[in-house]
Amino acid sequence: MSVLVENLTVRYGDLVAVDNVSFEAPTGSVTVILGPNGAGKTSTIEVCEGFRTGQGHVRVLGLDPAKQHRELTNRMGVMLQGGGVYPSARVKDVIRHFCALHGKGANATELIHLVGLGARSKSTWRRLSGGEQQRLSLALALAAKPEIIFLDEPTSGVDIDGRDVIRDIILGLSQEGTTVLLASHDMAEAEKVATHAVFFREGKILASGDMKSLASARKRLRFTSTPGLVTAELAVAVKSPITVISEGLYEVASEPTPQLMTRISQWLADNQHPLLGVDMGTENLEETYRRFTRSPQ
């Protein structure tokens, strides 16, 4: 297990930013940390990076990130949410600098080309676009040849081509056995690379696990019928809660089975409502995120 977080609490004065959370990130996994702004994602990641301390038990690559920070820096890469480079620094200079500091033989020229900045190697940080700055940040994190890499919003402000580059790099790292911990708001991108997910809200973890187990809990059935159905009666008939998604669109929070379909069809027929459409499947990550972050805790 590359990351082990047990009963972590982080306080800023009276504010409890992270409230007794626990999760794990297996070696070689891509664990995506999701949640609204202020949910505690960055604080948790900063504790794992060793930049912040909290109460609880945290181990990264078997090391205490606060007490063994220097040892950890030899084995981890960090991509910050923004900034981190002096505005007048040139791309090739800053990548060379970080490769030299880590001293693990990462080749600066290869890294520049890996993140697609070959044509911009003489540009200064301030002259790069937002997406190019993100790719440079990723290159700096890779200079460590890391066993674990922390990525905070890696695709924020990045165009489609840049996203492809970053996604390929993340998937490549995972295949080589590097553990990736990724905080993101970009659900579509996260879904493409994640093997595990952790959902944060108001400093607590609402759900966590591998994508398959989370997906099995994300099965649902939606159907379209007359607007304004008496959902309370329908819920009793189908023995599952019913949610109105939008006008005439309903969701049954239950695994779609022939028996469930039969009960719904029967109730609609008995009450003389049409069945206009049916959608059975699995929530995408964004739908799951919305369900977790909007539902009462």
Partner 1 sequence: MKRIAIQLRAELMLLARNGEQLLLTFVIPILLLSFFGSVEVLPSGDVEPIQFLVPGVIAVAIMSSAMVSLGIATGFERSYLVLKRLGATPLTRGQLVVSKILSVFCVQIVQVAALLALGLFLGWEPAGNQWPLAIAAVLGGTSAFAGIGLVLAGRLRAEINLAAQNGLYLLLLLLGGMVIPRDSLPSAASTAAQVLPSTALADLLRTTLNGDSGALLVPGTVLCAWAILAPAIAAKRFRWS
> In the complex, which residues of this chain contact partner 1 (CB under 8 A)?
46, 49, 51, 70, 73-74, 76-78, 80, 82-90, 93, 97-98, 100-103, 124, 140, 144
CB-nearer residue toward partner 1: 71 or 210: 71
Q: Using an 8 Å Cβ cutoff, are 239 and 191 in contact? A: no
CB-nearer residue toward partner 1: 70 or 212: 70
What is the nearest approach in angstroms of partner 1 to the Cβ of residue 242?
A: 48
What is the nearest approach in angstroms of partner 1 to the Cβ of residue 70?
A: 7
CB-nearer residue toward partner 1: 83 or 157: 83
CB-nearer residue toward partner 1: 45 or 285: 45
Structure tokens at 85: 């480079």
Structure tokens at 208: 């966590």
Stretch (H or E) spanning 110: helix 108-114
Residue with the two structure tokens 């009793």: 236
Residue type, 15: L
What is the nearest approach in angstroms of partner 1 to the Cβ of residue 106?
A: 12
Closest CA to 35 of 53, 51, 23, 26: 23
Give the orientation angle of helix 91-102 with respect to helix 130-142, to 10 degrees.
Answer: 20
What is the nearest approach in angstroms of partner 1 to the Cβ of residue 286?
A: 29
CB-nearer residue toward partner 1: 102 or 120: 102
User: Dihedral of the CA atoms 120, 121, 123, 127 (nearest 10)?
Assistant: 50
Closest CA to 165 of 175, 176, 154: 154
What is the nearest approach in angstroms of partner 1 to the Cβ of residue 228?
A: 53
Closest CA to 39 of 18, 55, 57: 18
CB-nearer residue toward partner 1: 64 or 93: 93
What is the nearest approach in angstroms of partner 1 to the Cβ of residue 19?
A: 22
